Amino acid sequence: MKKTKILCTLGPASRSLKMLRRMYKAGMNGVRINTAFGNFDDYKGMIRNVRKLGDIPVLLDLKGPEIRVKLEKKMYTKKDDLIEIGKERPIEFNYNIYNQLNIGDNVLINNGKLLTHIVKSEKNYVQLVIERGGTIEDGVGVNIPGKKLHVPSVSEKDLRAINFAKENNVEFVALSFVRGKQDISNFKGFAYNLQAEIVAKIENHQGVENFEEILREVDSIMIARGDLGVEMDLERIPLIQKHMIQRSNQEGKLVITATEILESMINNSIPTRAEISDIANAILDGTDVLMLSGETAIGRYPVESVSAITKTAVQVENSIGTNIKEEEFHNISRTVSRSIWQIAETMPLDKVVTMTKTGYTAKVITRFRLNQPIFAITANSIVKNQLELYYGVQPIQYNYEKEKDRILSVAQLLSNNNVLKEDDNVLFTAGVRTNKAHASNLIEIHTIGELLEFGKVK
């Protein structure tokens, strides 16, 4: 069974229940809704279809301080064309940043496909000359490399999206163009009582420079290579990606590798060799999730795109080694997770079962990339759905806390559902006789048939 998780962006090509069902069967584990496009009625319809299908986590992607273009119809440009962007023009930016721009500034549009620079700058508009032309469509992203623009980290639409996430029990909320811990702090100030995990999208210079402080403040990281590759030299991206994956693994934080995973499959039914190698290397480095964007939102082959990742993951996952170096004490759960990894490496162990309230213990176990599947038992439905995106974790919702013998009750449940077999050697971990956070302090190892026999004697 595939352990790497696949997150699919929904759009016209994939929002129907029929297509979602096909993608799920092909290996989709979660869906992303990009609030840069569409409206809240659209998003609600997407979530309704997803919930009909099953316990599939939803990631709501907020625009944050992302610059995009606004226009009513497509604009076609070629080299040396002059265009004006500004108030009361056919094309404008979604933020009033014109007085922050200067003659000579490079303006890259649509992930850098269009390259322009400013030749005239006024209070309410700028004039650009096209160096590399192409089509400009409503909502495409804009990058101005090296420029520290003063724009709000949470927009008016973001505020609506936060409330929408609360009302619809969305499991993840992603904030675009995170520049530092202050952006996260500002977001949390608006997101009171939000149960969703916070995902910081790293896609500019400041996000890279302040990565460590950002990592401490959030639950998850998204390496948004599209904008990152426009904001920074392309050749720097592979090592930045590897570093962010390793650090996220080390801290037990979910890490999503995104953008141009299978870009060619927007129009082609098979991937390129380079794309498959890119997928394999991200998995080998330790990514939890691979995210598809245009491939599933607007592409011609969404199911085939999901299937391509699934096939690649199954091939390479058995070759993954741990990149964790735990050299100091952090908390009991992290210490126990290292012991579980050592046990799994040195004895014939078939499965690992963790009983968890918040999901934390499952997260710190899976960072060691065990060969054995990890079953996370939790009473919390949102935690259960969030764990669906963590590498190798198979979450199950069950309220074990009311049971006198928790391990026996969980073993019986999993055995009755054919998850555990009589001859399976299974490691169980849980927190007992403690109310402390991150304190899973118990390890028991049982052959399931023997454990169930002891249960009958009782």
Token pair in block for residue 291: 């995210």
Task: Give the pLDDT of residue 157.
Answer: 87
Residue 88, phi then psi, degrees to nearest 5? 60, 25
Quote the tokens at residue 240.
Answer: 């930045």
Residue 141 pLDDT exceeds 90 = no
Provide, rounded to the nearest whole percent, the portion of the chain with pLDDT above 70: 100
Number of helical H runs and strand E runs in the chain: 16, 22
Q: Which residues pair with 92 in a beta bridge?
A: 70
> What is the model's pLDDT at position 156?
83
Give the integer Cα–Cα distance in Å for 67 and 370.
Answer: 41
CB 304 within 8 A of CB 411: no
Model pLDDT, residue 152: 78
Report, as an integer, the average pLDDT of 325-338.
89
Residue 205 pLDDT > 70 = yes
Q: What's the pLDDT score for residue 438?
A: 85
| pLDDT of 366 | 97
Q: Does position 381 have pLDDT exceeding 80, yes or no? A: yes
Report yes or no: 262 and 306 within 8 Å, Cβ to Cβ. Answer: no
Residue 112 has a pLDDT of 86
**pLDDT of amino acid 458:** 56
Which is more confident, 302 or 113? 302
261: closest CA among 276, 273, 246? 276
Render pLDDT for 63-106 as a digit per residue (tens, 0 to 9).
877 888 999 889 999 999 999 999 889 999 988 999 999 999 99
**Residue type for position 267:** N
pLDDT reading at 230 higher than 90: no
- Does residue 357 register a pLDDT over 70? yes
3-state secondary structure of 150: coil
pLDDT at residue 91, as a whole number? 94
pLDDT of res. 326: 82
pTM metric for this prediction: 0.91
Q: What is the mean pLDDT of residues 35-44?
A: 93
The model's pLDDT over 309-327, given as tens digits with 9 standing for 90+, comes to 999 999 999 999 898 988 7
pLDDT digits (tens, 9 = 90+) for 237-270: 999 999 999 999 999 999 999 999 999 999 999 9
Q: Which domains does the chain have, with CATH numbers?
A: 5-65+152-317 (3.20.20.60), 67-143 (2.40.33.10), 332-457 (3.40.1380.20)
Instruction: Give the pLDDT band of residue 457 (cuts 50, 70, 90).
Output: low
Measuring CA to CA, which residue among 73, 388, 62 is closest to residue 199? 62
pLDDT for residue 330: 86
Kindly state the average pLDDT of the residues 354-374: 95
CA distances from 113 to 116, 128, 451 (A): 10, 15, 61
Please report which helix (H) or strand (E) contains residue 247, including its range. Answer: helix 237-250
Mean pLDDT, the chain, integer: 93
Contact 27, 1 (CB under 8 A): no
Predicted confidence band of residue 146 (pLDDT cuts 50, 70, 90): confident
In this predicted structure, what is the pLDDT of residue 148?
A: 81
pLDDT in tens, 7-26: 999 999 999 999 999 999 99
